[in-house]
Chain A
């Protein structure tokens, strides 16, 4: 039953993606990408990744949609044009896609329990999280404790990206004002 829900959601995801590809109105594409994120969150719940689904629903459908809409407001255009020939990109994409699908044929099928990735460090995380950290949510304990270095790096990346956006977009009003006062170029 769950496998069929999964198949249905994934098909919807593909349909929404085709709609985004064909869409020329940027506003509609942004809203469709919000729908895409909610569908992706549903797929992630079916795949048992509840923490990731929560993040995707709040980040993908919430913050990114808001930021994209704010950009559309800034650039004051809502239509995109396509003037390029599309045959070469389509050819490249189909070729690459065929190779990638061929590559996934050796991957273990959906839901396999003796998959190689379940064997290495994961049993230790699952068995020892309560004993070692006292936190039942394994995702939290791995995120903050066992793999704390990763998360420190990711937090620093977020910090850097935030500083970058503030440098790119902030501080302009002051400069315009001083430019108007002193007429400096």
Chain B
């Protein structure tokens, strides 16, 4: 753990860009390859890289376990809540066209919210998976 200077500096340099790339994949997913699933996994990969290089305590300082484990159900609730919102506004479950005045914009907003829910669930699940395995091992 002392001689891995290159690993530590390299990790520090690359971490913000991994997160930036995850956000790019998330928000550019409408126009290029990407979306909530990929962005969630990349976000989790950032936390895992931090945990592998600096130890799990450093990773749990920026992504505390209570937050990560709560993200798992919150994402599903955001997804299902978007569907219920369509139901409450007088259309079918998961019909987003009533979310805004213009149906096309409403569906765009619905896709955005659904993808956000997927991002939260996937990143939370992948990070808590890794925490569960890593904490068992120490």
Contacts and interface: CB of A to CB of B under 8 A. Distances in A.
Q: State yes or no: do A and B touch (Cβ within 8 Å).
A: yes
Contacts of A148: 83, 94, 114
A137 interface: yes
Contacts of A135: 30-31, 107-108, 111
A134 B118 contact: no
A136 interface: yes
B72 A163 contact: yes
A182 interface: no
B134 to A, nearest CB: 6
**SS class, residues of chain B in contact with chain A:** helix
The size bracket of the interface on A is: 35 or more
Interface residues of B, number: 52
10 contacts: A54-B33, A132-B103, A143-B35, A148-B114, A158-B125, A162-B129, A165-B129, A165-B132, A166-B69, A168-B132
Interface of B: 25, 29-38, 41-42, 44-45, 48, 52, 69, 72-73, 75-76, 79-80, 83, 94, 96, 103-105, 107-108, 110-111, 114-115, 117-118, 121-122, 124-126, 128-130, 132-137
Interface of A: 50-51, 53-55, 58-59, 62-63, 66-67, 70-71, 73-74, 131-137, 139-141, 143-145, 148-149, 151-152, 155-156, 158-159, 161-163, 165-166, 168-170, 172-173
